[in-house]
Every structure is written in structure tokens, then in C-alpha cells.
Amino acid sequence: MKMSMVSLGCDKNTVDSEMMLGLMNEKGFEYTDVDEEAEVMIINTCGFIQSAKEESINAILEAAKLKEEGALKALIVTGCLAQRYKDEIIKEIPEVDALLGTSSFDKIVETVEDVLGGEVKNEFLDLDRLPSISNKRKNSTGGYYAYLKIAEGCNKNCTYCIIPSLRGNYRSYPLDDLINQAKDLTAQGIKELILVAQETTLYGVDLYGEKRLPKLLKELAKIEGIEWIRILYCYPEEITDELIEVIANEDKVCKYLDIPIQHASDKILRKMARRTSYNDLVNIIDKLRKNIPGITLRTTIISGFPGETEEDLETVIDFIKNMKFERLGVFTYSEEEGTVAAGFDNQIEEEEKEARRDRIMRVQQEISEQNLEKMVGKKFKVLIEGRLPEENVYIGRTYMDVPGVDGYVFVNTNRDFMSGDFCDVIITGSSEYDLIGDVL
């Protein structure tokens, strides 16, 4: 029986989708990317912010049409939107045959079989349940990288964020399970592991009583075939000296860290319930750069948080100018029902949020251009991911680049490479957010 999968939202959702694909594949379901051919369709939704909710709803409605026009017999909706709006989906979209909550994705096979057998059974297990990851995943990235989700949920309770009520409290996957999963991914040809969670820095605290991210990194680095290990969602206040030492000294761990700070004004950071101050952030960033030469730092900023003044905005801009992040993204504040921040006074109009976002990004664009210019003449190890047709130009990434988020390197060469190969490249120029180089 043919099945299709629509995976929306973040990379954590991607992992859940790959888990479900693996389970379904083991049961003999055949994957198709032609939706009209599918007899079973799974839509793994995002419900984090308004735009993501709209995208998820549209995907469900499009799939619902296939129950009349195509071969579709079972439409299953999973993920954050299903968890957050289960009652509304059941009432408004009767074409949906079953819903799975965020902690229930490993029940996908039983759910599909129930639906095909004529039984409607929605599955919403305890949010603090840890889904099984014992199955072999079916990697879907199409490249030589895979995301390794090391934990579920979050305990931070930032005032703007709905995630704890959708994903539960923080809980880590056992280290041995993650090592086995990484070995399975390596057997599929994966060369880069990207560690993700709502927060990676707290890995292991709930299971082992201490932060075990450094130990996990060391164990992953022992796996033959893994060349790069990258860490995302690393909360700045939880970065330890031990973690810094491992990043600095373990060759396979990329000198790259994603540290979402969200703001720099002490007033706004307090309103967000963040656990850092302006000075804390400066000290952490200085420490990282001092102890990890060549580190690339990525961060995110929220513009237009309730009560944000011109002074707060200028604080952020000055901070960015001083810190000179290699990578930075800005998101407009999204007022989400059920969050503390939704009840704050002085909500800011969407047009103004966007204007503030654009101001910040203009500053960052200049910094990015300067950073790219500094790369010229330097040598980097590049992972080849593809080739431009009819040209002697390959597309690749350095340790400084997260796939689909950061830039690429366009490599000029007359030599033949396969996707997944590594090569040494000298940077000769730049274009917007990308680098240009020649093979050494």
C-alpha cells in the first residue's frame, strides 16, 4: 500500500516524520511523493506561530480533497497543530481520520491500521511520555546530513512560547539509544549529524542528574563515518566550560554554535523570562570566541515584543554591531494565545514589527558582507552536496553553514566529485551570503 508524508515546521518535526516513515516502511508501506497515488497520507504539522498554523491548515485541506479525487483512504494528522487544536480539527475537518499528539508519533502504524480497518482512534498520550526511537529512521533530507533529536519538550517557559504546553517538560533520550540511532544513520551514508532539541545544552540533566552533552559529543565522535557533528539550540546561560572544551578540542565537532538570545535589552529579556542579561551575553560570547578560535556563532532576535521601545531596539542594534555575529536571523513577535506575553499591554502593530526587523537585518547585512570578505584567501574543508548542470561548479558547505539555513560555497574545478565527498577549497570571492572558491 502506498503512503505519502507531508512534514512541516522545524527540524525536530522532521525527525518525528522520519521516525514515522521508518515504522511504516518496516510494516511494508511503500512511500510515494505523488500525493494522488497515496492511499495513506500523514501530515506532520506545526502550530508554533500564526504563519505555520496557516500552512498546516492549508496542507490538511488540500489533502482532504484527495479523499474525493484520489486514492486516499486514510488521512492522519500529527504534530503540534494536532496537539493544540485537536477539538477544532475534529469538528471542522471531518475528512481527517485520526489525530496523533506530539508524544504519540511512534503509534503511527497502529493508528493507520485502525483507520484502514474502519476504526477511528485519536491518540493523545501523556505529554511527558518519551516516544520510542528504537526503530530505524528513514532519512529524508536528501543529502549527507541528518538531524539527531536528543531531547523532547522544554522547561524554560519563556513568556512568548507555546512549546511547553505542546511538547511537555524537558526529557532526554537515553545516550545509548542516540548512539545506536546515529550508527543507523551512518549506515545510510550520513556524514554530518546535527544535534537538535528545544534546548540541547540541558541534555541529560533529567536522566543522569548532570549535563551530558559533552559526553554525548565524545561518544558520537567515535562513530566511524561521521565527519561533522553540529550543535543547534544551545541556550547561552547553560553553556559550561566542559562543553566549550569539547567543542574546541574534538576535531569532528564543528566550531559552530547556534545560541538563540532573542533580545539584548535587559528590560525585554526580563519580560520574556529569559535567563540572561546584556552583560551575561557579552561575557558568554567573548568566552566562546576566546576559547574556540574560528568559531561561527548564529543567533536569533525577536522584533516588536510587547512594550519594546525605540531605546530597546537601539540596544539590540548596538549589541549586534559590537558582537558581529557571523549568522543572525530576525523574527517578528507572534502573539500566541495561551502564552503570558499575549496578555501584555503595549502590543505592537505588525507593520511596525516588520519595520524593526528590517532595520536590524540591514545592520546585520553589512556585518555579514564584512565577514564574508574576511574569508577570501582562507582554506576550508567543504562537503560537496551537488553540481550545477553543464558547469564545472559544485555546491558545498563549510563547517560554518547549516544546510538550508546558512550559505553555500560554489566550487570551481575540473575535477570530478561525488555528492558526499569532502575537498579542500581556497576562497576567492563572495556573492551575497555565499562564498566562491577553487579546489586546492
* CA separation for the pair 135, 105 (Å, rounded): 12
Task: Evaluate whether 220 touches 230 at the Cβ level (below 8 Å).
Answer: no
Which position has the grid cell 551537488? 386
Task: Provide the grid cell at 154.
Answer: 522544554
Q: Which residues have a Cβ under 8 Å from the Cβ of 413 and sit 6 or more positions away?
A: 392, 394, 423, 438, 439
Residue 59: phi and psi, rounded to 5, are -65, -40
Task: Evaluate whether 439 touches 295 at the Cβ level (below 8 Å).
Answer: no
Task: Evaluate whether 253 touches 304 at the Cβ level (below 8 Å).
Answer: no
Cα torsion 208, 213, 219, 222 to 10°: value is 180
User: Closest Cα to residue 268, out of 214, 218, 312?
Assistant: 312
Task: Provide the grid cell at 347.
Answer: 502590543
* CA separation for the pair 303, 358 (Å, rounded): 9
158 assigned binding-site residue: yes
Q: Which amino acid is at 352?
A: E
Which position has the grid cell 536528501? 142
Assign residue 417 a region: left if phi > 0, alpha if psi is -120 to 50, beta otherwise?
Answer: beta
Residue 92: phi and psi, rounded to 5, are -95, -25
Q: Which amino acid is at 379?
A: K
* CA separation for the pair 189, 143 (Å, rounded): 9
Strand 393-397 and strand 327-332: the pairing is unpaired
* CA separation for the pair 275, 417 (Å, rounded): 46
E-strand ranges in 181-240 read 192-196, 228-231
254 assigned binding-site residue: no
423 assigned binding-site residue: no
Binding-site members for [4Fe-4S] cluster are 10, 46, 80, 154, 158, 161
Which residue positions form the known binding site?
10, 46, 80, 154, 158, 161
